[in-house]
Amino acid sequence: PIICTKGTYSGELTEQEQVGLTVEYNKEALKEALCMLRDDRELREKLGRNALRAAIEKYNWRTQEEKLLHLYECIKPSLH
């Protein structure tokens, strides 16, 4: 699992995919999140499973290649 700052791109992605915790940008919030992950094995395992699923299904070379090729196809007509 990951801990990210709220209001950032990585924080939004973390919340969307439910792969970690997002916290306010301060030491106390980070400390609380670390303690939560340390103490809650079930939560750690759930977030870890979600991260593995997201990596396999969405964030891999194949899906990124497809997105990039689609983008190239979309802008290709404007290049002529």
Q: pLDDT value at position 44?
A: 98
Q: pLDDT value at position 2?
A: 96
Q: pLDDT value at position 56?
A: 94
Tell me the pTM.
Answer: 0.78
Q: pLDDT value at position 77?
A: 80
Phi-psi region of 60 (alpha: psi -120 to 50; beta: other; left: phi over 0): beta
Sequence-distant (≥ 6) Cβ neighbours of residue 32 within 8 angstroms? 23
From the first residue on, what is the mean pLDDT of each consecutive set of 10 residues in the chain (80 residues)? 97 98 98 98 98 94 93 83
The C-alpha atoms of residue 72 and residue 51 are separated, in whole angstroms, by: 28
